[in-house]
Amino acid sequence: MYNEKVIDHFNHPRNVGELSDADGIGETGSFKCGDTMKLYIKVKDDRIEDVSFQTYGCGAAIASSSMLTEMVKGKKLDEAMQITNQDVADQLGGLPPLKLHCSNLAADALHNAIEDYRRKHDQV
Amino acid sequence: MQSRLVYMDHGATTPVRKEVVDSMLPFFHDQYGNPSSLHAPGRKVRQALDEARETTARALGADPEEIYFTSGGTESNNIALRGAAKKQKGGGHIITSSIEHHAVLDVCRDLENEGFKVTYLPVDHYGCIEPEMVKEAINKDTFIISIMAANNEIGTLQPISEIALLAREHGILFHTDAVQVVGQLPVDLHSSNIDFLSLSAHKFNGPKGIGALFMRKGVEINSLYRGGSQERKLRPGTENVPGIIGLGRALELAVSDIPHKKKRLESLRDSLIAGLLQIDDVVLNGHPRQRLPGNINVSFKYIEGESVLLGLDMEGIAASSGSACSSGSLEPSHVLSATGLDHSIAHGSVRFSLGWGNCKEDVDFVLQKAPLIVERLRNISPTYHSR
């Protein structure tokens, strides 16, 4: 059902945990299937200097969160805002169709984290 | 990588025993005749088929003419429920439970769309159906009651004898989906008030794609199919001969093993349950005692069932889950929801179902690995950290 890359991210998730000094925190969830993702970002010079995540969900949810953190580290905020859930799935080499709807929410959490950062830093 | 496979998903399907395969093999190549044919090759197969029917009947305490071979539990359920409904001509009332397998539940929903009235009985938090509620639900239009013998997800055994007796006293047909029970617990149909019973061979170390429906002598339903006269026209079509032979052999072996196997599985089950409950924030789903000998269903709070399955799979442990993500829908299991379990806890459910071949070492292995997987996933989970 899952490809090797998904399994690898599930088995060895990157950037797990809470950033105690996060500049922005974004949360998202699927009410229906219960998945919840929390994304923490540390921003320096308009770039994502550090990122971490916490996820409650299935294998796809964990893998896509982990994948996303790898994709955005070092990215400019505007670039990071362009990343879609589909991009994350593509980077993982694809997810089972059903998972695209319910578990692939990492990019939404990232966007929320960036918006949170911008709100806190009067960039809105 | 992993060095061993610990298969704990016998509720989904079981391996076919070698004796069963051996009994089937001649019917692919040497004894290929059509049992409906007049000639010697046909007659020879007819005789083997008759013997398999006798074996099956004997194992269930039924008469051979009460056994109808089908493709499995789903078809047996459809033949019984739809067939009884078809006989009604113009509506009537059906009583079933809210925790039936979809092969009963969705048939009832379909019949509802066709004008039948259906009562879906609630269950208590153990997943038990209260016979008194069945009694209250009966009305003058009730023509059939269908209650599963044991639930496939949480293993809860239902008070089938009492409910069947109630049905009999009210002149109502009684059907039970017993796919999880046949071969695991003793069944004696002649001393019961059961009119229809569905079973499936692959749940008791028989082949897939073959099952049977017991229909009590004297009960009449309308056939759903048109075709030849096989299975007394209830299930026309050339018989799945190797499957039927395999079913008969598997059932014979399974039933003769019951006294020993039941005790062994119950003991393994109870030690696995006790061990899993040692992990913090784990709840047992289903009844502590009134459950299938091999069924364990627990919820790991703060984590999602499918991720636990995946973690177990990485260690070579095969189990299943009632979580939304593994069910193919977005909803958690209708069974766990019906027991009143909170959605977030239902999402964390994992079923281990034991069978022939599982041993104490398997249980120890799971108990060694599960806590590590749970800890790892909880460490990732935001709901665990904010609990």
Let me know if A33 is a catalytic residue: yes
Lookup: tokens for B236: 């026309």
Alpha helices by DSSP H, listed for chain B, are: 18-24, 26-29, 40-60, 73-88, 102-113, 131-137, 160-169, 241-276, 305-314, 324-327, 334-338, 343-346, 360-380, 382-385
Domain edges within chain A: 4-120
Q: At what angle do helices A59-72 and B305-314 cross, to 10 degrees?
A: 80
Let me know if B108 is a catalytic residue: no
Q: Is the pLDDT of residue A102 over 80?
A: no
Looking up tokens 């904010």 gives B386
- For B117, counting Cβ atoms within 10 Å of its Cβ (0-12 exposed, 13-18 middle, 19+ buried), the class is middle
Q: What is the pLDDT of residues A16-43, one digit of tens each?
A: 999 999 999 999 987 667 889 999 999 9
Contact B382 A36 (CB under 8 A): yes
Contact B324 A62 (CB under 8 A): no
- Rounded to an integer, what distance in angstroms lies between the CA atom of residue A51 and that of residue B21? 56
Lookup: tokens for B338: 């019906």
Lookup: tokens for B169: 């006293």
Identify the CATH number of the domain defined by range B258-385: 3.90.1150.10
ipTM score of complex:
0.93
Residues of B near A (CB-CB distance < 8 A)? 302-304, 306-307, 310, 314, 323-326, 328, 330-332, 343-344, 347, 377, 379-385
pLDDT of residue A123: 66
Q: Enumerate the residues of chain A whose CB falls inside 8 A of the CB of residue B343.
A: 34
pLDDT of residue B325: 60
- Using the Cβ of A1 and the Cβ atoms of chain B, whether some distance falls under 8 Å is answered with no
Q: Which one, of B374, B204, B370, B368, lies nearest residue B294 by Cα?
A: B204
Lookup: tokens for B39: 């000639």
- Closest residue on chain A to B301 (Cα): A56
pTM value surpassing 0.90: yes
Q: Enumerate the residues of chain B whose CB falls inside 8 A of the CB of residue A13.
A: 380
Range B167-199 burial, b when 16+ CB lie within 10 A, else e = beeeebbbbbbbbbbbbbbebebeebbbbbbbb
Contact B385 A30 (CB under 8 A): no
pLDDT of residue B327: 56
Best of A32, A33, A64, A99 to substitute, by most chain B Cβ atoms within 10 angstroms, is A33
Q: Enumerate the residues of chain A whose CB falls inside 8 A of the CB of residue B347.
A: 33-34
pLDDT of residue B41: 97
- Closest residue on chain B to A7 (Cα): B310
Which member of B330, B331, B382 has the closest CB to residue A56? B382
- For B288, counting Cβ atoms within 10 Å of its Cβ (0-12 exposed, 13-18 middle, 19+ buried), the class is exposed
- Closest residue on chain B to A59 (Cα): B307
- Rounded to an integer, what distance in angstroms lies between the CA atom of residue B202 and that of residue B206? 5
- Output the tens digit of pLDDT for each of chain B's 387 residues: 557 899 999 999 999 999 999 999 999 999 999 999 999 999 999 999 999 999 999 999 999 999 999 999 999 999 999 999 999 977 999 999 999 999 999 999 999 999 999 999 999 999 999 999 999 999 999 999 999 999 999 999 999 999 999 999 999 999 999 999 999 999 999 999 999 999 999 999 999 999 999 999 999 999 999 999 999 999 999 999 999 999 999 999 999 999 999 999 999 999 999 999 999 999 999 999 999 999 999 999 999 999 999 999 999 999 998 766 655 566 788 999 999 999 889 999 999 999 989 999 999 999 999 999 999 999 999 999 988
Please report, in angstroms and rounded to a whole number, the separation of the first and last CA atoms in chain A.
Answer: 42
- The distance of B300 to chain A (nearest Cα, Å) reads 12
- Closest residue on chain B to A63 (Cα): B307
- The distance of B370 to chain A (nearest Cα, Å) reads 14
* Four-residue CA torsion sign, B210, B149, B232, B223: negative
- Using the Cβ of A79 and the Cβ atoms of chain B, whether some distance falls under 8 Å is answered with no
> How much of chain A exceeds pLDDT 70, in percent?
95
Lookup: tokens for A30: 């699927």
Q: Enumerate the residues of chain A whose CB falls inside 8 A of the CB of residue B369.
A: none
Beta-carbon pairs below 8 A across chains A and B = 74
Which member of A2, A18, A33 has the closest CB to residue B330? A33
Identify the CATH number of the domain defined by range A4-120: 3.90.1010.10
Residue type, A14: R
Contact A34 B307 (CB under 8 A): no
- For B1, counting Cβ atoms within 10 Å of its Cβ (0-12 exposed, 13-18 middle, 19+ buried), the class is exposed
Domain edges within chain B: 18-256, 258-385
Topology of the domain covering B18-256: Aspartate Aminotransferase; domain 2 (3.40.640)
pLDDT of residue B258: 97
- Rounded to an integer, what distance in angstroms lies between the CA atom of residue B262 and that of residue B268? 10
Q: What is the DSSP letter of B180?
A: T
